[in-house]
Structure formats: C-alpha cells, structure tokens
Chains A and B, each alone.
Chain A
Amino acid sequence: MLCDHCRERDAVVHLTQIVENAVTQLHLCEKCAAAKGIETTIAMPKHPLGDFLHAAQYPVSPAAGDQTRCAYCETTLRDFRASGRLGCAHCYTAFEGALRELLRRVQGGAKHAGREYTAPVVAGTERETALATLRSQLQQAVVAEEFETAAALRDQIRALE
C-alpha cells in the first residue's frame, strides 16, 4: 500500500481518526507521518538482559577474560556470558571489575542505595547447636547414601567452622 500523502513510499503508519463520529483511515509512510508530527516509534520493550549481554560481549578490561573462574562455584565469565546468570554470591567478587562497569551501563549505577543489611551472626552456643544439627544431618545423609545432600551439608559445616 502506498502512502496517501506522497504516493511514492510504502505506507507503514495506519492512522484511524474519528471526526464527528465518522471514522477515516489514513495510511502514511514514515517520512510523511513524521512531517505531520505523528508519533511513529512505538519502541519495543527492551529486554534489560539483552543490553547487558551485549555489553558483556565487550569486556572492559582485557584481564577480565573468559577464563576468569569463581573459586566457589566454578562458574567462568564465559558461562556467565552464555547464560546471563551468575552462579553464586562469590561470583560478584570474582568478576567484580567487569561487573561494576556493566552494572553502571545496565542499571545506571553500581552502588546500592537501598536498605542496608547485616546478616545474623551465628555465634557461641547458637553456632555450636547449628554445627551439631548439621553434623547429625550429614551422618543421616551418608547412611541414606544421599551424597548430594551430604556434600552440601559438608560445605555448610566448613563455612561455619
């Protein structure tokens, strides 16, 4: 369909106008629509992660290469680029340099300005009780041959010790 106005270019804007209860249709090309001051760009919702991953294609620092690996969960920067997901809290430290710059671009800032938080400290007798519970759970898991649970419990015990 050609533009109603210039009759040269394809009409891409289809405008329905209601004037005194009569409906008229106007078909315009982008240029003529713009000349008439009609808004033509309904920007598509941008997926924030799309921007992020795009930015991640170009690491700011050459040192922050694909092989950088989180020591805790073994996620690499390459994994992160492929999935857009970090593996654990420690990844934020492992990839800190690259992340800070990327967060600035995607989030418009890299500094938390919300609620401050201090995790409850498991101390003294509470810690001992927690350790005892975890150790007994570990023993049960080993007996039941639930090795994944056992491995997770072992990590927790180490973290507490």
Chain B
Amino acid sequence: MTLDLSLLPDGGMPWITASGAHADIVLSSRVRLARNVAGFAFSPRARDGERLLVLQQVREAASHVDLLSQAVLLRLDEMTANERRLLYERHLVSRELAELDAPTARSGSAVLVGEEAALMVNEEDHLRLQVFRSGFDIGGAWERAGRVDRELGATLPLAYHREFGFLTSCPTNVGTGLRASVLVHLPGLVLTQEIGKVLTGLQQMGLTYRGLYGEGSEVVGNFFQISNQTTLGRGEDELCDHLERVVSHVISREEEARRVLIRDAGYIIEDKLWRAYGTLRYARSLGVDEAMNLLSGVRLAVGLKLVAGLSVYTLNKLLVYSQLGHLSLAEGRPLTESEAGLARARHVRGVLAGEGSSA
C-alpha cells in the first residue's frame, strides 16, 4: 500500500496544534490502555492466523465505537520500512510495532487512527488504545480513553482476571493497563541544574520518565515524558489525578526556574537562545540531536517572549518534520544520515525564514 498521510484526521497528531493549556511547556498529554482479546495467545506468541483474526475482530468491534467508527485503518504489514517510520515519528505506533529494522512488519500489525483516539493492533498486547491531547489535559485524555475502552469491551471479550485485572503480555502493565504520560519541555530546570532533584522526586512519587519517543529513547532537547510507573493496586482516576498533581508542581518549578534565569542571568540566556536561533536559521547541515537541542533553545526563547512571530505550533511541527522519515518523504527517496543532515537544515531554514522572527 502507499501510505497517504493526508487521509489521517489532523495527520494523526491532534496534539500538535499547541492549543491546550501550558502548551509552551507541555507538548502533549496521553493516556494509553493495554488490552488483550480473550481466547487468543498474546500477540508475540500468537500464530500469524491468530493475529489476523484478532485484527478482524478488533475492526468489527471498533466500527461500533463512537470515537473509532470513522477511523482510518493502516496495515503496517503492507508498508515499507519508511512508511512505518513515518507513523512512529508521529507517535502513532511504538518502535516495537513499527519494527523499523525489519523488511516487513508481522502479519496483522496495524493501527486504527480516529480523530481523537487511535488503536494499535498486535503490538506486544492485542490492543494499545491511545488518546493524545494538546497541552496539559490528562483528564480529557482519560475521559475519552475510558469511553472507548467501555464501548470496545462491550462487544469484544477482553482478557480479565478478578484479582489481577486486565491481563497483559508484560506484568508491568497488568491491572488497569493504564499508562498516563505528559511530554514536557524543561530547559529552565536543566539550566538551573534543578532537574536532578525533580527527577529523583518523581521516582519517589511512583512516577518515571523517558525521552521524546518513550520507552528506550534518550532524553534530548530537554524533553521528558513523565508517566506512572505502576498499573496495579490503584484505580484509573487515582493514577491520573496523581500524575496531574505532580506534573502541575513540575510545571510551576519550571516557570520559577525560568524567572530565576531571566532575573539572574538575563543577557547570558538571551545570548545563548539567539545563538541557537541563528544556527537553525543559517546552518547548512544539522544532526537530529543537534536540531532537537537547538529547537529546545528556540522554544524556550518563544516561551520567554524573547522571540516574536514564531508559534509553538510551528516548533511542534519542526520536531516531527525534521525527523529522518519525514525528510525522506519530502525528498521523495530514502535518505542516508548525512543527506538527512543537509535536508534537515534546508527544511528548518525554510520554515524559520517564512515565519520571520524579530528581536
């Protein structure tokens, strides 16, 4: 199949508009629920035939779910590696489901993309339901995810145990199967070196953090994905409320750090951020991590109102469109890493020139 991303509602990225609360600090809020269909072995252990049957049953059940009835079905098992990469870069599928290094994905690997909810099929679990929201809105994400889950489970029999709750392939997800996460940008806490304390604090509060692309990804560009660590023993509302409370606190710490930076080191910060902007505006080659780090500087400059005429929405788009898969798509062929460096710099220059920022 040829993947047509324009068919996807909001390009599959309802979070990208930066329309939510605290959007300069919080890129997105997400709730993910892991579920398995009763009567089948879990996806990694299932035979190809079983995986296809799971997909068939999930499609049938999803057609009766309000938020998924109009969803677009994308079969990863019929896509090229670069097409799968595009979905991964949009956070629509996990690295595991995308199988970026394999020539083909396993039978039945798919994602259903609706306007407000998306459903990964045959990942580590049969179902990974995801709801993304722009900015800081865990409550909104949970409300929608809970609704889709109840409607799906009403026609599709799910694997459930009275004591252990919803059963998952990995015991670290069992129970609620819920992972609520918030993708936050914390350059103030990094620059003031408060971040160590904050991260240690998160772990003491039963939360954990990862990089921009979730599990297994490094922290680059001062982006941290904060989520609940445990899924059993506490209810869904409690898990979401707890994350929301702690992240609210992290946001105020970040705002405070930014005030301190401007007060105590205003010109140093301003110089540093304009240098980041200058590099992005004029560089001829940019590595991906380099671009992420410089974009972090510009994002902070926009947050501090040092740069006018550049929107957070544009910066969100740059995060996605300067990834390898999207650059390859724009160039019409798979790029090597060094070709991507040139293409990335060209793309970023073009976008920044178009937005016309001023000091």
Contact = CB atoms under 8 A, between A and B. Distances in A.
A36 B144 CA distance: 49
Contact of A45 (B46, B49, B157, B209): B209
A18 B264 contact: yes
B338 interface: no
B236 A99 contact: no
B230 A141 contact: no
Contacts of A46: 203, 208
B167 A48 contact: no
B279 interface: no
Interface stretch (B192-200, B286-294, B329-337, B351-359): B192-200
A112 B165 contact: yes
B contact face: mostly helix, strand, loop, or mixed: mixed
Given A85-B170, A92-B167, A103-B164, A117 B158 contact: yes
A49 B230 CA distance: 11
A87 B210 contact: no
Interface stretch (A3-11, A61-69, A151-159): A151-159
B45 A111 contact: no
Most chain A beta-carbon neighbours within 10 Å: one of B36, B41, B146, B199: B41
A19 B52 CA distance: 63
Contacts of B149: 115
B232 A107 contact: yes
Most chain A beta-carbon neighbours within 10 Å: one of B153, B154, B157, B171: B171
A86 B171 contact: yes
Nearest to B159: A89
Contacts of B161: 89, 92-93, 112
A120 B155 contact: yes
A85 B208 contact: no
B169 interface: yes
Interface in B145-196: 146, 149, 153-167, 169-172, 174-176, 178, 193, 195-196
Contacts of A119: 38, 153, 157-158, 160
Interface in A71-112: 72-73, 75, 83-89, 92-93, 99-100, 102-103, 106-112
Interface of B: 36, 38-42, 44-50, 52-53, 124, 146, 149, 153-167, 169-172, 174-176, 178, 193, 195-197, 199-200, 203, 206, 208-210, 229-236, 238, 264-268
19 contacts: A15-B193, A20-B264, A42-B195, A43-B200, A45-B203, A88-B45, A89-B38, A92-B174, A103-B164, A103-B171, A103-B232, A108-B206, A109-B230, A109-B234, A112-B233, A114-B176, A149-B49, A152-B49, A156-B39
6 pairs of A and B residues whose beta carbons are closest in the complex: A109-B233, A112-B165, A149-B49, A148-B49, A114-B176, A119-B157
